[in-house]
Every structure is written in structure tokens, then in C-alpha cells.
């Protein structure tokens, strides 16, 4: 069995409980951005947001391709939410993460500024060796295969079989599974397809994959 080397962790709805309000608040900001910048009605904005998300993996890439939207403008606008209203430090998660013997990397379709705010709110800012964000990915994004290949290159090109990806979206896990990574879905229900593990919350990750745990952990 290949020794595990790198743990890639999604950010939103993965490091904190699914449905706690953060993603809903960001979604409302995305809709407002489309209404403001493109002059759409709320209904049309919601429809376009869904269309681009399904087609491109993020609304942002649809806006970049079809409307030449400035990514920095978009990302600053949609992430301008009061995170302290939704997130608090998670000592149990911190203890779990620091007890893992692999390098830990945030792998997100969001930007570094948002990721850093989330990690600070959860008191996890020093638990990761790096953050791979949409800029580091050069605006490819999950679930595009190029995003996973880029992420692997950015952490030293480990064998995919030595890597684990944890994400709350099944469609983001399938390409990783195809590359040979161990995949973990965090969220409700049991998605179909080639996903190796399912957890209600991320805290039980070492129980699902004992090879992640430090020898004395």
C-alpha cells in the first residue's frame, strides 16, 4: 500500500458544517453581483448563476469567459460577509488536523483572502502548509482535471495514490478518484460513483483513513 503524503482539503462546507449559513450568504452575494454588474432581475441572476456553476464549475469562470468580469472585483464582493456570525474556533478539528502526519493543503475554488479569513475564524490558520486557491490554479477550477494536475504540481508532484482529497461536492471528487487519489465526501447522503469514504463531518477523518494519523496520535 502506498504511504500517504498529502491531504488536500476543500474549504467551504468541508472544514465547517454543511449548511451553517456561510455558503447561503455567499450565494446571495453572487446573485447580487450578477444583478448589479449585468443588470439582471433576481430570477435571471439565479438562473445564470446556476447555469455557469454547472457548466464551468464556478460562476466566476462563466463570468470571465462570457462577460470579461474582473475576478478580483467579483471575489471581493461575494466574500464580503460577516464570517464571525457563522464560524467559531473548532478546537476538536484543530486537534485532529495537527495529529495527522501528512502535509495538509487547502484546495479551494475561492481565493486566498477568503480562505485565510475562514481559517482564522476557525483558529486553523497554522494547520496548513499551503493554500491552493483560484489564482494559484490560474483560473482552472475543480472539477476540471487541469486543476488537480496543477494542485499536484504545486505540492511537489507526489504520486496521486499517496494523496487524499476531502470535499463536500461529489463532482469535485470524481476526477481525483480517476487520478488515483483516495477520496472522502463530507456531507449528507451517499453519492453514487467512485468515492471511497463518506463522513457526516470531517472530524472522523483519521478513523476513516488510519494511514493519515501520526504514529503516536
pLDDT at res. 190: 84
Q: In what order do the strands lie in the sheet with 163-167?
A: 130-132, 103-107, 6-9, 163-167, 182-186, 197-199
| Mean pLDDT in residue range 46-53 | 96
pLDDT at res. 16: 96
- C-alpha 156/C-alpha 145 separation (Å) is 17
Of the pLDDT bands very low, low, confident and very high (cuts 50, 70, 90), residue 216 is low
| Mean pLDDT in residue range 113-130 | 98
Q: Is the pLDDT of residue 138 over 60?
A: yes
| Mean pLDDT in residue range 80-96 | 97
pLDDT tens profile 157-169: 999 999 999 999 9
pLDDT at res. 1: 62
**% of the chain surpassing 90 pLDDT:** 93
- C-alpha 77/C-alpha 209 separation (Å) is 37
- Ranking 78-82, 89-93, 188-192, 199-203 by mean pLDDT, the lowest is 188-192
Q: Is the pLDDT of residue 99 over 70?
A: yes
- Mean pLDDT score of the chain: 95
pTM over 0.85: yes
Give 76-133 as a 3 state SS string: HHHCCCCHHHCCCCCHHHHHHHHCECCEEEEECCCCHHHHHHHHHHHCCCCCCCEEEC
Exposure of 148 in the CB half-sphere (CA atoms within 13 A): 25
Cβ contact 119:16 at 8 Å:
no
Positive or negative torsion for Cα 67, 68, 73, 78: positive
Give the CA distances from residue 113 to residues 72, 85, 134, 211, in Å, rounded to whole numbers and listed in that order: 10, 18, 11, 31
- C-alpha 216/C-alpha 71 separation (Å) is 44
- C-alpha 60/C-alpha 57 separation (Å) is 9
Q: Report residue 181: phi and psi, to 5°.
A: -70, 150
pLDDT tens profile 171-186: 999 999 999 999 999 9
Of the pLDDT bands very low, low, confident and very high (cuts 50, 70, 90), residue 34 is very high
pLDDT at res. 215: 54
Of the pLDDT bands very low, low, confident and very high (cuts 50, 70, 90), residue 217 is very low
Q: What is the set of domains in the chain, with CATH numbers?
A: 6-17+89-212 (3.40.50.1000), 22-78 (1.10.150.450)
Amino acid at each position: 500500500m502506498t504511504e500517504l503524503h498529502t491531504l488536500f482539503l476543500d474549504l467551504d462546507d468541508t472544514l465547517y458544517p454543511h449548511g451553517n449559513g456561510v455558503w447561503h450568504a455567499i450565494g446571495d452575494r453572487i446573485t447580487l453581483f450578477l444583478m448589479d454588474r449585468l443588470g439582471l432581475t433576481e430570477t435571471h441572476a439565479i438562473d445564470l448563476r446556476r447555469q455557469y456553476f454547472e457548466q464551468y464549475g464556478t460562476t466566476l469562470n462563466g463570468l470571465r469567459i462570457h462577460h470579461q468580469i474582473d475576478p478580483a472585483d467579483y471575489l471581493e464582493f461575494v466574500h464580503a460577509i460577516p464570517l464571525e456570525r457563522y464560524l467559531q474556533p473548532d478546537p476538536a478539528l484543530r486537534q485532529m488536523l495537527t495529529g495527522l502526519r501528512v502535509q495538509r493543503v487547502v484546495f479551494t475554488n475561492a481565493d486566498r483572502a477568503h480562505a485565510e479569513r475562514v481559517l482564522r475564524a476557525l483558529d486553523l490558520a497554522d494547520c496548513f502548509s499551503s493554500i491552493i486557491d483560484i489564482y494559484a490554479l490560474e483560473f482552472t477550477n475543480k472539477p476540471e482535471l487541469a486543476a488537480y494536475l496543477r494542485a499536484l504540481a504545486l505540492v511537489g508532484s507526489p504520486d496521486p495514490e499517496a494523496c487524499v482529497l476531502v470535499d463536500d461536492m461529489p463532482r469535485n471528487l470524481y476526477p481525483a478518484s480517476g487520478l488515483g487519489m483516495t477520496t472522502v465526501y463530507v456531507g449528507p447522503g451517499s453519492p453514487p460513483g467512485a468515492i471511497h469514504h463518506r463522513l457526516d463531518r470531517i472530524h472522523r477523518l483519521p478513523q476513516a483513513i488510519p494511514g493519515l494519523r501520526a504514529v503516536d496520535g
